């Protein structure tokens, strides 16, 4: 497959302080793409600079704070006039657990980051993307393909990402802008530790009798998360680079065995899939 020229390419990556965003910033720097790494704290930017980087500029960017987004836009627009600008919407949160056990503030925060933040950043930077036929890459999840128990809020946010990508794919087609979705499975990052810590917090704060109603499925999905094969964030970064560099990028790229498993599960009729999940959890 032919590759797009890397000359005159600039990319903004949201959520670049750790995990996939961090790995992707380093990867792009190594292949010669100028990177603006969106971080929420100065210390996160300093951590990036500890690596042998050539062309990464940390930029303070909180996807839930519009003034922060606008400042980042003004900075990049001023410095990158005339370059081909690309956006990778990577910033995201994960939230697991039965809906009845969820904290309302956690639900709101996840939707603010995963959906509203993505839309706001994209809307703000679209003039730069459109001007030189840049590209838009959204990081989704296997849970954006299939909604399973214990993931209702997270799945809702990632289904929204899929919908945004599908809509914008046609909306931006007249301008020569490609939109790709990266469907990610389990990545070997500190996210898993955060998920388990949040799970423990949820357990401790929940009424014991209510928790007992959901214990079986909670324990099932805890085992599933631990046993699912994972890949390194650098592998995800390599796949993301394809969405940016392939001459004719795919609408969807699958990353890791977890994403592929969910893609197969999505092929089953919903009623059948529901019965399969029920039997697996409550056998």
Residue 3 lies in a domain: no
Write out the residue range of the structural domain in which residue 13 sits: 9-282
Residue 4 lies in a domain: no
Give me the sheet containing 135-141, strands edge to edge. Answer: 56-60, 34-39, 9-13, 84-89, 135-141, 178-184, 252-255
* 27 belongs to the catalytic site: no
pLDDT confidence of residue 226: 76
- In whole angstroms, give the CA distance from residue 175 to residue 191: 36
**SS3 labels along 138-157:** EEEEHHHCCCCCCCHHHHHH
Proportion of the chain in helix, strand, coil states, percent, rounded to 5: 55, 15, 30
Residue 223 lies in a domain: yes
- In whole angstroms, give the CA distance from residue 124 to residue 66: 9
Residue 74: CATH number of its domain? 3.40.50.720
Residue 207 lies in a domain: yes
Is residue 204 scored above 90 in pLDDT? no
Short-list 120, 128, 126, CA closest to 10 = 128
Residue 2 lies in a domain: no
Please give the average per-residue pLDDT across 148-161, as a whole number: 96
Is residue 191 scored above 70 in pLDDT? no
| Whether this model's pTM surpasses 0.85 | yes
pLDDT confidence of residue 190: 64
Residue 249 lies in a domain: yes
Is residue 241 scored above 80 in pLDDT? yes
DSSP 3-state of 249: coil
The active-site residue out of 27, 36, 154, 253 is 154
Q: What total of structural domains would you count in the chain?
A: 1
Token pair 């499975």 is at which residue? 185
What sections of 53-207 are H helices per DSSP? 66-79, 104-111, 118-131, 152-171, 191-205
pLDDT confidence of residue 22: 94
- Average pLDDT over the chain reads 91
Residue 98 lies in a domain: yes
Span 66-101, pLDDT tens digits: 999 999 999 999 998 889 999 999 999 998 999 999
Instruction: Give the H/E segment covering residue 60.
Output: strand 56-60
């Amino acid at each position: 497959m032919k590759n797009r020229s890397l000359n005159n390419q600039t990319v903004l990556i949201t959520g670049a302080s750790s995990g996939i965003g961090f790995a992707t910033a380093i990867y792009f720097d190594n292949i010669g793409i100028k990177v603006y790494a969106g971080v929420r704290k100065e210390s996160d930017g300093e951590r990036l600079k500890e690596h042998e980087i050539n062309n990464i500029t940390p930029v303070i960017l909180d996807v839930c704070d519009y003034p922060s987004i606008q400042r980042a836009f003004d900075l990049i627009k001023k410095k990158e006039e005339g370059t081909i600008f690309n956006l990778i919407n990577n910033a995201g949160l994960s939230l697991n657990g039965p809906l009845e056990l969820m904290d309302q503030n956690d639900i709101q925060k996840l939707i603010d980051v995963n959906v509203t933040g993505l839309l706001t950043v994209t809307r703000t930077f679209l003039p730069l993307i459109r001007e030189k036929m840049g590209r838009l890459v959204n990081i989704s999840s296997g849970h954006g393909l299939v909604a399973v128990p214990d993931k209702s809020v997270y799945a809702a946010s990632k289904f929204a990402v899929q919908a945004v990508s599908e809509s914008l794919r046609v909306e931006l087609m007249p301008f020569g802008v490609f939109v790709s979705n990266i469907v990610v499975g389990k990545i070997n990052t500190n996210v898993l530790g955060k998920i388990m810590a949040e799970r423990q917090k949820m357990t401790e704060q929940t009424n014991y009798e209510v928790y007992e109603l959901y214990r079986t499925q909670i324990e099932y999905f805890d085992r599933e998360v631990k046993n699912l094969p994972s890949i390194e964030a650098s592998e995800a970064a390599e796949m993301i680079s394809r969405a940016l560099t392939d001459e004719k990028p795919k609408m969807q790229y699958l990353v890791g065995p977890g994403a592929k498993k969910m893609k197969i599960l999505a092929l089953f009729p919903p009623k059948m899939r529901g019965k399969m999940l029920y039997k697996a959890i409550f056998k």
